[in-house]
Chains A and B, each alone.
Chain A
Amino acid sequence: MSNLRINRKKNKRFGILICVAAILLGILLAAFIYRLVSGKPFASVFRGFLPWFLALAVSAVAYGTPLMFGTLGEILTEKSGNLNLGVEGIMFMGGAFGLGGAYYYNQLASNPNGYVAIAIAIISAFLAGAIASLIYSFITITLRANQNVTGLALSIFGTGVGQFTGEFMRVKAGSYITLSNDLKDFFIMCPFPKFIQNIPVIGRLIFGHGIFFYLGIIVAVILAFYLNKTRSGLYLRAVGESPATADAAGINISKYKYLATVIGGGISAIGGMVFITTIAGCTWNHEGLSGFGWLSVALVIFCLWRPTAAIWSAVLFGALVDLYNRLHLAFLPDEIYKILPYVVTVIVLIFSSLRNNKEKQPPASLGLAYFREDR
């Protein structure tokens, strides 16, 4: 037993080593490609490459942050065995209501405070997502309807509600709505002091991102801790893996499924709000937001249902989303970049089913309804 544990620890260290090596190799490879494309001599490549790489990293994190929230929420949901395909709709609702909350606070308060605005945006987005998932949970858990179909219905409904709210606010205000510039800055501010950000390279690479990125990391770590180290997290995983067994052990299946889905939906919705308030510049932009929900569903597979893996995979997907703006290769058309995240996800999905590793699988009862009588 102890032998096994040591082995596993060694494996883990080995894994981290490989990860670091892979990142370094990736940077070298990117530099090489950059050289090929730009045709400059190798020595000058690194001079040109570094700013390019930093800019890519910054935008990758910016695009990755909404994805990270969407993914984390969906991981929590799927761990309970509920496959909620409504993430797209949930993120739309989160975006519209989060923006709405911040906007009306901005209008009503005489001296609006940035932190309060952020808190209100988070809370209203969370509530919107929670209500949307509550509808989903009621229909799938209590009324026992099919999860896939209900999820798709939620997608249609949620995108409708989001767009409706966005347009409705605009019509009511008479012009397109946005926050005051002071508040906008708060949403993209970096929580670290200037001197840390000014450390060359590392300052921008690690400490230079918006506040929501670090919030997302905190959520990811808490979620990982909850799922892997607490009793209640263990119960939740049991519900997702084998509800019949969990039921026999006296776990309240419905309670766990409801809570996980509703809270998960709330977290996903924050992702939509983050997109609208950071990338879209605090205006309603449904064209930009569309697709992020489906990407989040893809990401859940890509990071194999592990919250901590969601951090780097979201950034990676963020880079893929934005790469077509930054890297132009003669042999690879820009539009093809956009399907890379999905191709990568399919490959991961195939390999995870091929390898049949017990720990890297979808929750066993994912998408299946559980009725005690039907056992």
Chain B
Amino acid sequence: MGEKTKTPLIRLAKRDGLNPSAAWGIRLASILVALLLGSLVILITGNNPFEAYGIIVNGALGSEVFVRQTIKNAIPLLGCAIAIAPCFKMRFWNIGAEGQITAGALAATFIMRQMVGKVPSVVLLLAMGLAAAIGGGIWGLIPAFFKAKWNTNETLFTLMMNYIIIGVVSWLQIGPWTANQGRMAQFDEAACLPKVMNIHCGWIIVLVLVVFMFIYMKYSKHGYEISVIGDSENTARYAGMNVGYIMMRTMFLSGAICGIVGFIVASGANNTLSAEVANGVGFTSITVAWLSQLNPFVMIAISMMLAVLEKGTSSLNTWLAVPASVSDIIIGLLLFCMLGCEFFINYKLIFRSSHNGKEGEAK
């Protein structure tokens, strides 16, 4: 082929498995690019980016109190990311974690109101956790049922389910369950999660869930079925799997874990139920799950990173009077860069000018 013929300037070729350390190198580079872009935003506000990042790190990890708060922020993110992993593995786009958290918190609160004072604290907490799992599970099961039965679009369905349950809770909050001025009463002492190392014990539950989900996805028959459906639904059907049933089962599990996270947030962190119990965690955790390649252990790192950013920028707000919304911008940039960098892990660019296929490796 002559040089003058129409060879495109850049060609793409699929890589056959980049070695993992190089892949993580590219991912780290993308995080650096995101932080660089973020420093532009900080420059616009007229502050020194280095100073600002220093404040962010210091504000999130500088003292024991800050670290505790950061971990508190990371717990729901991690928990929901774990919940979402099997759905996304199955290519069932569950973006209803927000609603499933709320449904779980609602169910737990309902049980709390029924049983508080009548049973010991341990029984009460267990009952609340169970109710939360069932509540969240049912909220996840409904879209899965319609998807399995009539192939209803699950992305849009789960999205709508979020706002329905949040609306119900905000009605309860100012209506039947209100305590003072549109807020619900604080939970009874017995209904709050006990503290371990000065953080509510939700972190232990979530870490157990990490291990559970890793084993479930990697070594169980259920996990195998999920990954087959994700790769090809027709193959799964041909192999005799009941795709609809597996979908409903997985969504129930996913919703149940989200529900438990809702219970942890309501009982451990907030000690009350409000319509903002999920507060965007359901959406952010989806990106956490996806960016960690659905690997539960990587999720710990990514959710911690986002929590550090979130907590750190709030102290940026108090120290340098930078609008708090900077955290959303930097998190958004981070997500963009990390989403984009997967492309450079899966594909390589080949430029026209060289015959030997000099590989251009952009970040």
Contact = CB atoms under 8 A, between A and B. Distances in A.
B336 A139 contact: yes
Interface stretch (A142-150, A176-184, A255-263, A311-319): A142-150
B151 interface: yes
A339 interface: yes
A298 B340 contact: no
Given A156-B335, A160-B326, A353 B146 contact: yes
Contact of A339 (B164, B283, B339): B164
A163 B325 contact: yes
Interface stretch (B169-177, B217-225, B257-265): B169-177
Contact of B167 (A143, A149, A161, A339): A339
Interface stretch (B194-202, B205-213, B284-292): B284-292
Given A144-B343, A346-B157, A362-B153, A152 B163 contact: no
A157 interface: yes
A279 to B, nearest CB: 20
Of all A-B residue pairs in the complex, the 6 with the closest CB atoms, nearest first, are A157-B332, A160-B328, A339-B167, A335-B171, A153-B335, A163-B325
B88 to A, nearest CB: 9
Nearest to B331: A156
Q: Which one of A152, A171, A366 has the highest number of Cβ atoms from chain B below 10 Å of its Cβ?
A: A152
B170 A156 contact: no
Nearest to B291: A149
B160 interface: yes
B283 A143 contact: no
Contacts of A145: 339-340, 342-343
Contact of A148 (B95, B331, B335, B336): B95
Interface residues of B, number: 49
Contacts of B342: 143, 145
A81 B61 CA distance: 43
A193 interface: no
Interface in A341-375: 342-343, 345-346, 349-350, 353-354, 362, 366-367, 373
Interface string B318-331: 00010101111111
B332 A154 contact: yes
A336 interface: yes
B283 A333 contact: no
Interface of B: 14, 41, 44-45, 93, 95, 146, 150-153, 155-157, 159-161, 163-164, 167-168, 170-171, 174-175, 280, 283-284, 286-287, 290, 321, 323, 325-333, 335-336, 339-340, 342-343, 346
A135 interface: yes
A102 interface: no
B328 A163 contact: yes
Contacts of A158: 332
A160 B332 contact: yes
A83 interface: yes
Interface string A197-230: 0000000000000000000000000000000000
Nearest to B151: A353
Contacts of B153: 301, 349, 353, 362, 366
Contacts of A75: none
Contacts, number: 151
Given A149-B287, A149-B290, A156-B335, A349 B152 contact: yes
A338 interface: yes
Contacts of B329: 157, 160-161, 164
A349 B156 contact: yes
Contacts of A161: 325, 328-329, 332
A168 B323 contact: yes
B164 A135 contact: no
A346 B160 contact: yes
A82 interface: no
Given A149-B339, A150-B339, A346 B164 contact: yes
A188 B22 CA distance: 57
A146 B290 contact: yes
A362 B280 CA distance: 27
A138 B163 CA distance: 30
A115 B333 CA distance: 36
Contacts of B160: 298, 342, 345-346, 349
A133 to B, nearest CB: 13
A167 interface: yes
A301 B156 contact: yes
Nearest to B167: A339
Contacts of A275: none
A294 interface: yes
Contact of A163 (B44, B280, B323): B323
Contacts of B167: 335-336, 338-339, 342
Contact of B95 (A85, A338, A339, A343): A85
17 contacts: A85-B95, A139-B340, A143-B343, A149-B290, A152-B283, A152-B287, A153-B339, A156-B284, A157-B329, A158-B332, A161-B328, A168-B44, A294-B159, A298-B159, A342-B160, A350-B152, A367-B93
Contacts of B146: 350, 353
Interface string A322-346: 0000000000010110110011011
B31 to A, nearest CB: 14
B336 A373 contact: no
A349 B160 CA distance: 10
B95 A159 contact: no
A355 B169 CA distance: 32
Contacts of B170: 335, 338
Contacts of B333: 157
Contacts of A354: 150
Contacts of A273: none
A139 B342 CA distance: 10
Contacts of B41: 164
Interface string A52-92: 00000000000000000000000000000001010001000
A149 B339 CA distance: 8
Interface in A92-146: 135, 138-139, 142-146
Given A143-B343, A168-B45, A342-B163, A157 B335 contact: yes
Given A335-B174, A343-B164, A135 B331 contact: no
Contacts of B332: 89, 153-154, 156-158, 160-161
